[in-house]
Each structure stands twice: as structure tokens, then as C-alpha cells.
Chains A and B, each alone.
Chain A
Amino acid sequence: MSSSTLSEGRKQFIVDGVTQDCRADGRRCIDFRRFQIETGIVSNTNGSARLRQYGTDVLVGIKAEIGQPKQERSNTGHLEFYVDCSSYNTTEIDGHIGDFTTQLTKSLERIYDSENVLDLKSLTIIAGEQVWVLYIDAVVLECCGNLLDCISIAVKAALYNTRIPGVSVNDEEGVLELEISDDPNDEKKLSIDKVPVIVSCNKIGHRYVVDATQEEECCSSGRLLIAVNDRNNICSLQKSGTGSLDPSTIFEMIETARQAAVPLNQELLQTLKREERSNNDKCGFFAN
């Protein structure tokens, strides 16, 4: 939604509400919307997750394929992201839809494709030659603000769900052959201890708001993306959008985001563990 589509009165209402720590939907400034998460719902993937929130629906699928390592990091595997917004029908995108998705993809890649986040060494099969490449694709089915944060939560859930098959390397007369095992017990899980979620902090009036709706995003005078992991450490910062911020504002935003991220990370981990234990048959994709 571009800022021009929101009336001045509505903007004033939102800003005043935020000032009193009571937003249009009754949340406080540091509250996230409640979300539902399902994992392991796409059978052709190595890991998948779907996040549903009021007005937002994101599906993430992870496929692990054997490929060549990147030139600059020949001893580790890597991640490749793609965000598909084609069905995402909104007026938020002012410019070209391609630019918008590229920006999302870039931010995700920068934050997640790092040794600080995942043990990329464990994805190596033959150092310098064959590694696992995780293709992480997000499809945005519906969106109501705060898209990047939602995708990041779904990505974390999908990584938790990802199983990488075991591979054995056979040396046959100097020719290396890879054999992928189809034994489910031989599968490897990824550790998500250090995987962060992204919290976008918006400055509205004199307060900081997380998980902004589309309307609130229009009233935002500055935005900072902050990636926080389970140990409450900051994994990434990125100023987003136009405009500039005061240094003290940045420090307050970091603190706000950390406060918001603690319950978010805990809740996510609990939900994922509960979901894994229950292991019941998923009924229909768009059912319930």
C-alpha cells in the first residue's frame, strides 16, 4: 500500500493509537500477531513449512540438491533463496515487482547464508567438489504487512523440518561415486539453535512497533530489520526503506526488537516441538 492511499485522518488515528500503546487491532507495540505454523506439508521437499497469520499466508519449501560449492567458500555448502510474490496482489509495491522480490531475496540470503547461522560445513560431501545446496523457496500466497518477518519465521520452521539424506562416497578406481541412501534413519537434521528470526522495527510517532500491518507500515518514518536468534544475540541489522535515523533511535529499536523476539523465538520452538511430537496426518492443504 503506498502511503498516498491512506487518508490523513486514518494516519493520525494509527499514530495516536501507537502513542498510547494500543494499536488498531488491540495489540501493544511489541506484540506479534498470533500465527499458526505447519511443517512437513509438501511431500516432494526435504523440509517445508506454512505460516498463517491474519491476512498473511506464506509457504516455504526447502529442497536439498547436490551441487558445486561457491568459488569463495569451496569447503562448505550454501543456501539459495527465492521469493515468489506473483500471486501476491497488493498495492504495496510502488516500483517493479521484480525489484521487490529481489530485495526480499537479497535480505534473506545475506542473513541466512552464513556460518554464524547454520553449520554449513556439515553440508559438505567432498570438500571443494560436491556439497549440498539448500534451495529455499518461499511462495507468498497472501500478505498483510510485515512480509519479511513472516517469511523468516516460516524459513526457520522449514529448516527445523529439513532432513538431509545420508550420502556415502565410493571410490571406484579413482572415480568417486556418490550414493544417496533412502533409509529414513540415515537422515540428518539441521541444528536451528543459531537460526534467527527477523524482526522489523518501525518507528511510528515516537514509539517503535513490531509486526506492523500494511496500514501501519504507511505511517512508519523509519524501519530497521533486526535478526535475533535463540540465544538473544543479534545476527544482522539492516536499515530498510528511505529516510535516515538518529543513532539513539537505532539503539532503542534494537532493544525493542530483542524484547519482542524472545517470546517469539520461544513460542516458535515450542510449537515446532509440539508439532513434531504429535505427528498426526495432515488433513488437506487448505483445509481447516
Chain B
Amino acid sequence: MRKDYQLPKFYDRLVCRTGAVSQAVGSAYIELRNTKIICAVYGPREVAKKQEFNIQATVACELKFATFSCRRRRRHIQDSQEKEYSQIIVQALQPVVRLDKYPKSQIDIFITVLQNDGSVLGGAITAASVALADSGIEIFDVAIGCCLRQIGDLSLIDPTYLEEEGRLNNEEEDEIVTNANVTIALLPSLNQVSALIMNGELDVDSTQRIIKDCLEGCIRIYPVVRECLTKSLEEKMSRN
């Protein structure tokens, strides 16, 4: 039983919108319960001359938690966690974008986490792909991110902030309860995993099980994203 609502199942409160930032080429806003993420895509733009020549496009990402988004106040400067997240997002999106279509150019992705209530990395990956799709940059697929927290035998998909950090309340001191966090980015139509990150301690079977559960979580999010993108496209068409 979870504190905020019953039954630990899937994103039943996922809100996804495109066109959140009017100046950007593409943008998206995502809400996973209390986690709110906004993402803007700029580019493709010419890379600075001093950088080395690259026949393929480069994807750059900057993720920032708003200073007020977490329990503790964040600093203005990107800290190591934000840098790590940015790097994982780049890794998740590189196989998605048709890099060969945009030689010598760079695609910039800016992500701001307005409110952090867990599952930020998964949400950010999804938001970034929706924004990419909205921008019209050619992509193979959308990357859907999903987080999962395993505590003992309990799997929590889309964990809240407390669940991400927490252990079971009834845990006894000497009893070792295994716990792990996993985040996956899935390209649903290609059935490929473009990012995978896990921390914790689990045996091989449980590891495989939670990866499967997490993949299933991604698949459940996909229709919401697809619906959001079709709707935004229809709106654009009717406007023209």
C-alpha cells in the first residue's frame, strides 16, 4: 500500500503537453503526480568554429533542478547529480535522433525540473523525446523513460521522492532488505533500450525481473505520449 494512493501501479496521473515554451523549436511539459518537468529543444544550430568537425550532429543536454524544486534548496550552478542526469539523457537520446541528417550541427536540450517528487530521470527522458518530436527534428522513435524502486519484494513503479530514498517501515535493524533503483529508456517501436542505470543490490533473477517490470512501465506510458503527440499535430494542422 502506498501513502499517496492505493495500489502501486503505473502512471495513472501522467500529464503530457507540447508547446510549453513558445520561443523554442520544440518543447514539452510533463507531470508525473507531483513531479513537474519542462523541456525545450533548440536547434539544429551551427557548432562553434573552435570545436572539432563532426559529420554527425551532436546532442547536448542541460538539466537543472529549479532552486526551489527539492526539499533542500538547490544551487544555481549545475551540481554533479544534474551533470550525471544530463549525460544519461544525452545517451538515451543519441540513438533516437537521426544524427546523420544534421551534419556539423548541434541540438540543444534544456530541461528544468520545477518540482521534484521522484522519478525525475525517467520523466526527463520522456519530456525530452516529446520536445524533440514536437520540434520536427527527424527521429527514429521516441525514448520513453521509466523509474522503478525495489524494496524487498515490493516493486514500486514511478516512485515518489520518499519512496526513492525510503526503506520499509517495518524493517528490523538486523534484517537485510535488498533495495534498488532502476531507470530505463525504451524505444518502444524498435524495442531497444537506449539507457539503463541501476543502483542497489539484487540477485540476478530479481535484476532481470525488475528490468522487465520497468520495461512494462515504459510500454504503459507510450500510449499517453503518442496521444499527446497526435493531438498536438492535429492542432498544428488545423491552425494552418
A residues near B (Cβ < 8 Å) are 71-72, 102-103, 106, 109-111, 114, 116, 194, 224, 229, 232-239, 241-247, 250-251, 254-255, 258
Besides A234-B202, A234-B203, A234-B204, 10 new A-B residue pairs in contact (Cβ under 8 A), listed by A number: A72-B72, A229-B201, A236-B198, A239-B195, A239-B197, A242-B95, A243-B95, A244-B193, A245-B192, A245-B196
- For A72, list chain B residues within 8 Å (CB): 72
**A236 and B197 alpha carbons, distance in the complex (Å):** 7
B residues near A (Cβ < 8 Å) are 72, 80, 83-84, 87, 91, 94-95, 178-179, 182, 187, 190-204, 207-208, 211-212, 215
Contact B87 A232 (CB under 8 A): no
Question: For residue B190, which residue of chain A has the nearest CB?
Answer: A244
**A250 and B204 in contact (CB under 8 A), knowing A72-B72, A244-B192?**
no
- For A229, list chain B residues within 8 Å (CB): 201
How would you classify the secondary structure of chain B's contact residues: helix, strand, loop or mixed?
A: mixed
- For A242, list chain B residues within 8 Å (CB): 91, 94-95
Contact A250 B199 (CB under 8 A): no
Contact B84 A110 (CB under 8 A): yes
Nearest-Cβ distance from residue A149 to partner chain B, whole angstroms: 17
Instruction: From B87, B190, B195, B196, name the one whose CB has the most chain A CB atoms within 10 angstroms.
Output: B196
**A237 and B204 alpha carbons, distance in the complex (Å):** 11
**A254 and B72 in contact (CB under 8 A), knowing A103-B87, A238-B197, A239-B197?**
no
| 18 contacts across the A-B interface (CB closer than 8 A) | A71-B72, A103-B87, A106-B83, A110-B199, A111-B199, A229-B201, A233-B178, A235-B199, A236-B200, A238-B197, A239-B194, A239-B195, A241-B91, A244-B192, A244-B193, A245-B193, A247-B215, A254-B207
- For B191, list chain A residues within 8 Å (CB): 246-247
Contact B200 A116 (CB under 8 A): yes
Contact A233 B202 (CB under 8 A): yes
Instruction: From A111, A244, A251, name the one whose CB has the most chain B CB atoms within 10 angstroms.
Output: A244
